[in-house]
Amino acid sequence: MWKIALCLVAFQVILAQEAGEIPEYIKPCRRDDPELLKCFMNSLEHVKPYLAKGIPEIEVPSIEPFHMNELSLQLTDGPQGYKITLKDLEVFGASNFDVKSMKLSENGEPFTAQIVMPKLKIESKYISSGVLLIIPASGGGDFHAVFEGCKANLTGKVSTPVRNGKTYMHLDAFSITLDVEKASMSISNAFNNNRVLLEATNLFLRENVRVVLEAMQPQLHKKLAMEFGKLTNQFLKHVPRDWFYI
């Protein structure tokens, strides 16, 4: 039954596109608007609740939570260095963003934007191996992290392919750097609830949270850019450029 309903919704979207009707998740801007940049920023703010719940008619999934498959971290060096692999990450809070600044692409230069998110919460499974604080600490369990005061700097390049006589946009290159004001991390349900190993690991995470965050950031930036880039292009391929500014 749900497949039939989804097909009907998709058919309605196709009819709306053919009729030139702009869907509710798009807030268009006027080309002659003297504050066009501000209008674009407001359009991004407008789409937040739709990203939070997803837009099934164009197969855009909810970003609450936002999913990532894996991150691998080398936290200490040496033959028995401590490694953590995070799996099946769920990131909560990505839809609660504010657009602080934006610069449109000009003369072939990339566009830039800065958004802030008050809090990102990460829940995942983890597997660890190696020695931590002279204690063998191989095992697995649940990983928890909270990032507060998150500032994301976005950079990208967009092309404008034409399909069926309509011009669309495509995100060709995209990068994200994330600055975090405050972070906390912990594990649970690990080492068969061995209290010594559990407390030793959480002590390490508390006292070295910046070290762990720095080890996490290169992969985190790459994975966020890849996943958000895919989601953005899924959105853009259904939205003609003329819907954004009329």
pLDDT at 191 over 60: yes
Quote the CA–CA distance of 156 and 171 in Å, as a whole number.
Answer: 7
Break the chain into its structural domains and give their ranges: 36-243
- Count Cβ atoms below 10 Å from residue 14 Cβ, excluding itself: 12
Quote the CA–CA distance of 63 and 80 in Å, as a whole number.
Answer: 37
What pLDDT score does 78 carry? 63
Average pLDDT over residues 55-66: 90
Average pLDDT over residues 179-196: 89
> Of 45, 42, 62, 44, which Cα lies nearest the Cα of 53?
62
Q: Which residue has the higher pLDDT, 13 or 34?
A: 34
- In the chain, the percentage of residues whose pLDDT exceeds 70 is 87
Q: Which two tokens stand for residue 245?
A: 């500014």
Q: Which residue has the higher pLDDT, 163 or 81?
A: 163
Beta strands of the chain (E only): which ranges?
66-74, 83-92, 98-103, 111-129, 131-132, 135-136, 139-159, 162-163, 166-167, 170-188
Fold of 36-243: Bactericidal permeability-increasing protein; domain 1 (3.15.10)
Peptide bond into 65 cis (omega under 30): yes
2 pLDDT tier (thresholds 50, 70, 90): very low
Q: Output the pTM of the full model.
A: 0.81
What pLDDT score does 14 carry? 43
What pLDDT score does 3 carry? 38
pLDDT at 83 over 50: yes
The b-or-e profile of 209-243 (16+ CB within 10 A means b, else e) is beebbebbbeebbebbbebbbebbeebbebbbeeb
What pLDDT score does 156 carry? 93
Average pLDDT over residues 4-17: 41
What pLDDT score does 132 carry? 65
What pLDDT score does 134 carry? 58
Average pLDDT over residues 103-116: 86
pLDDT at 67 over 80: yes
Residue that is written with structure tokens 């998150």 in the block:
150
Interval 119-149: pLDDT, tens: 999 999 988 877 766 556 677 899 999 999 9
CA dist list (Å): 70 to 87, 177, 216: 4, 18, 11
